[in-house]
């Protein structure tokens, strides 16, 4: 039999092994599903084989269903069919799991009789981030295995369960040193004979009343996300509904949610995040520089946070401030933050000791001499910043990357203060050591390609989502937020109350933020006209974002409309299930958005002048990204 390239097969005594080899992440696309199904059937027909093992790549058992197929429709055998085949087979199946075991990949393992994990195994149901629920048995089988509250927590938080916890929860039978050890164990088990242990035959342990508190917690953080409501429903169902019926409900719900605007928006964000890491005009062979040591200049709260972020990422870092009193304040603040993290359970003792050991403090700028990357988190004053860059240029070793943190100063003017403008780049950390993941990476006119490649590769190490932007005051995020804030104030001046604006946007999932709320509270309302409706308030705020976003695209400050979405989802609390402002505008229809903007332009004046890119996209019936390309071609 010829073996398709998505798998490998091997016979080890009485064990038939199917290796999943669909790089990079073993997504369960049509070809892999077919290959697994055929190989499994062939092993079942082989009288020498007593049990079958599914083994993934060392770092990816499987990332789950192939998300690209969700938009195009899936061809049989569907994952649910492959799973049903494994469950109905005359021979037991084992899953040998190393690395990522997500979504449909996780569900594939729940069809197996025994799960053996390597220490790097990571189980998760990320479907909720795609606006959906597990659709191949997860909502019905996981509760039967680990109980309703634990299953709901795993499904609605999309958190990762590592091997040790998985063993404690009963998700896997054993954790072995590596996949080879797991194969040896599976081979011995097959020789000895394996008893069938279908999860579907079990009842959910505990009582359904245990679900009340878990459901309340889940729904409390749902912020209007449909999938969370459905997940609660599904897990409850597992207690008192036969498996077949529960799975039929789950399949229908998965299909219904998959077609929803919320799910489409979240799939858009998933691919947009990955696209944002790519820089289209970097030569393919651009090699990033090695980063093994960092320095941060300026020890106020931003600088201290950036230094902590490097230390957390495993990079030795020195935090420098020539003001000794500032350094002492930073030392105390950092110690306090770390203690809080440890006391709150966010970090364990040994990790904290290791992080502390990586972070030094110094009052000497010369301490930056050996760093591969130096971040200046100094001031918003150009003269002072140029002086610091000029000093760093003299002190730092050749090849060191000099970074400005901030969104207001002109990076090209800063770079001119050095003899190495190619090594100068911007990193705008919104909240360096906090939950905000956005990192705007600012490319100057002379920033070298390998410097861009280095910083784009450094961001994920710092647990940040990078988006490459060009030089302008405010960069992408703050410039758009300014336009939004100005509109909020105008609305209040026209007679809307701050509470009304707040409610209109909260209903959409957007929090206008305390600063804006305070600014609005001071505005004088002079209603000139009919009271503003919630819908109009919302459209005016959102379309200001979109129109400004179009201008940033035209100016080349933002590379793609989807990059702007990533900026707003990761940096400014825009709800993921809305997909970001630009996706929302495209989902509503660009012609409708433009019609509103033209109307406001007539009514409210020049700040509403439609962006030419938006006009062209509507005129030519294109998406915003396609309109940018069509302009480039023209």
Compute φ and ψ for 323, nearest 5 degrees: -90, 110
116 DSSP 8-state letter: E
- Taking contact as CB under 6 A, which single stretch among the options 124-132, 235-243, 409-417, 576-584 is the one that binds ligand 3H9? 124-132
| CA atoms of 220 and 217, how far apart (whole Å) | 5
Report the residue from 15, 36, 82, 100 that binds ligand 3H9 according to the rule CB under 6 A. 100
Residue 66 touches ligand 3H9, criterion: CB under 6 A: yes
| CA atoms of 461 and 317, how far apart (whole Å) | 14
Residue 579 CB, shortest distance to ligand 3H9, in Å, is 16
Touching ligand 3H9, residues 322-361 (CB under 6 A):
none
Residue 87 touches ligand 3H9, criterion: CB under 6 A: no
Task: Specify whether 127 is catalytic.
Answer: yes
Indicate the residue among 257 and 359 with the shorter CB distance to ligand 3H9.
257
Report the residue from 7, 35, 36, 79 that binds ligand 3H9 according to the rule CB under 6 A. 79
Indicate the residue among 33 and 479 with the shorter CB distance to ligand 3H9.
33
Residue 65 touches ligand 3H9, criterion: CB under 6 A: yes
- Taking contact as CB under 6 A, which single stretch among the options 15-23, 99-107, 485-493, 494-502 is the one that binds ligand 3H9? 99-107
Residue 126 touches ligand 3H9, criterion: CB under 6 A: yes
Residue 498 CB, shortest distance to ligand 3H9, in Å, is 38
Compute φ and ψ for 59, nearest 5 degrees: -105, -10
How many whole angstroms from its chain centre is CA 38?
35
| CA atoms of 280 and 70, how far apart (whole Å) | 26
Residue 147 touches ligand 3H9, criterion: CB under 6 A: no
How far apart, in Å, are the Cα atoms of 2 and each of 28, 56, 86, 529?
20, 20, 21, 75
Cis bond before residue 591 (omega within 30° of 0): no
Task: Specify whether 252 is catalytic.
Answer: no
Residue 104 touches ligand 3H9, criterion: CB under 6 A: yes
| CA atoms of 361 and 80, how far apart (whole Å) | 56
- Taking contact as CB under 6 A, which single stretch among the options 102-110, 222-230, 283-291, 517-525 is the one that binds ligand 3H9? 102-110
| CA atoms of 532 and 542, how far apart (whole Å) | 15
Indicate the residue among 66 and 494 with the shorter CB distance to ligand 3H9.
66
Q: From edge to edge, which strands make up the β-sheet containing 174-175?
A: 7-12, 15-20, 51-55, 93-97, 114-117, 174-175
Alpha helix ranges (H) inside 259-381: 261-276, 301-312, 324-343, 349-358
- Taking contact as CB under 6 A, which single stretch among the options 135-143, 365-373, 479-487, 605-613 is the one that binds ligand 3H9? 135-143
Residue 69 CB, shortest distance to ligand 3H9, in Å, is 8
**Pairing verdict, β 114-117 and 373-376:** unpaired
Residue 459 touches ligand 3H9, criterion: CB under 6 A: no
Name which of 199, 105, 94, 88 is nearest 143 in CA terms: 199
Alpha helix ranges (H) inside 363-441: 382-395, 411-416
Instruction: Kindly name the residue from 87, 127, 487, 586 that is annotated as catalytic.
Output: 127
Residue 155 touches ligand 3H9, criterion: CB under 6 A: no
Residues annotated as catalytic are: 107, 127
Q: What is the binding site for ligand 3H9 (CB under 6 A)? A: 24-25, 27, 63-68, 79, 100, 102-104, 107, 126-127, 130, 134-136, 138, 274
């Amino acid at each position: 039999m010829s073996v398709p390239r998505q798998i490998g097969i091997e016979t080890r005594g009485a064990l038939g092994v199917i290796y999943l080899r669909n790089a990079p992440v073993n997504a369960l696309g049509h070809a892999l599903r077919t290959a697994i199904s055929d190989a499994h059937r062939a092993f079942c027909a082989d009288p020498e084989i007593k049990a079958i093992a599914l083994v993934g790549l060392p770092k990816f058992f499987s990332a789950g269903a192939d998300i690209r197929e969700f938009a195009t429709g899936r061809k049989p055998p569907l994952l649910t069919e492959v799973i049903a085949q494994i469950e109905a087979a005359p021979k037991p199946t084992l899953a040998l799991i190393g690395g990522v075991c997500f979504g449909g990949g996780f569900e594939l393992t729940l069809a197996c009789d025994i799960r053996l994990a390597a220490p790097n195994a990571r189980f998760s149901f990320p479907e909720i981030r795609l606006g959906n629920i597990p659709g191949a048995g997860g909502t019905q089988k996981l509760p039967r295995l680990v109980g309703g509250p634990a299953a709901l927590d795993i499904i609605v938080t999309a958190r990762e369960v590592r091997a040790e916890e998985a063993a404690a929860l009963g998700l896997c039978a054993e954790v072995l040193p590596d996949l080879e050890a797991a194969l040896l164990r599976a081979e011995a088990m097959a020789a000895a004979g394996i008893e069938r242990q279908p999860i579907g035959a079990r009842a959910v342990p505990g009582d359904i009343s245990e679900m009340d508190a878990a459901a309340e917690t889940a729904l409390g953080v749902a912020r209007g996300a449909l999938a969370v409501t459905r997940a609660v429903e599904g897990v409850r169902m597992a207690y008192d509904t036969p498996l077949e019926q529960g799975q039929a409900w789950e399949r229908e719900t998965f299909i219904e949610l998959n077609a929803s605007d919320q799910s489409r928006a979240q799939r858009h964000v998933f691919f947009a995040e990955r696209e944002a890491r790519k820089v289209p005009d970097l030569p393919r062979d651009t090699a990033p520089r090695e980063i093994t040591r960092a320095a941060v200049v300026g020890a106020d709260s931003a600088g201290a946070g950036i230094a902590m972020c490097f230390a957390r990422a495993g990079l030795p870092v020195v935090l420098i401030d020539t003001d000794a009193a500032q350094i002492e304040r930073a030392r105390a603040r950092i110690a306090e933050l770390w203690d809080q993290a440890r006391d709150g359970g966010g970090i364990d003792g040994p990790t904290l000791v290791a992080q502390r050991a990586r972070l030094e403090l110094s009052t000497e700028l010369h301490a930056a001499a050996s760093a591969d990357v130096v971040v200046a988190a100094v001031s918003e004053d150009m003269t002072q910043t140029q002086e610091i860059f000029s000093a760093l240029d003299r002190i730092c070793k050749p090849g060191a990357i000099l970074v400005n943190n901030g969104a207001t100063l002109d990076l090209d003017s800063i770079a001119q203060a050095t003899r190495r403008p190619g090594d100068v780049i911007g990193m705008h950390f919104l909240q360096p050591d906090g939950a905000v993941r956005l990192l705007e990476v600012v490319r100057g006119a002379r920033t070298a390609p390998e410097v861009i490649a280095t910083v784009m590769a450094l961001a994920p190490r710092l647990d940040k989502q990078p988006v490459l932007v060009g030089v302008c005051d405010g960069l992408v995020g703050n410039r758009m937020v300014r336009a939004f804030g100005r509109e909020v104030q105008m609305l209040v001046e026209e007679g809307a109350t701050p509470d009304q604006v707040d409610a209109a946007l909260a209903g959409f999932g957007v929090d206008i933020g305390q600063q804006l709320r305070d600014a609005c509270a001071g505005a004088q309302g002079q209603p000139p006209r009919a009271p503003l409706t919630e819908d109009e308030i919302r459209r005016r705020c959102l379309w200001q974002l979109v129109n400004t976003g179009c201008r940033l695209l035209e100016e080349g400050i933002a590379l793609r409309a989807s990059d702007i979405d990533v900026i707003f989802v990761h940096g400014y609390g825009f709800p993921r299930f809305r997909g970001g402002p630009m996706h929302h505008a495209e989902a509503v229809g660009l012609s409708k958005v433009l019609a509103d903007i033209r109307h406001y332009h007539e009514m409210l004046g020049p700040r509403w002048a439609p962006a030419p890119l938006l006009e062209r996209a509507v005129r030519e019936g294109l998406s915003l990204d396609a309109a940018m390309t069509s302009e480039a071609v023209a």
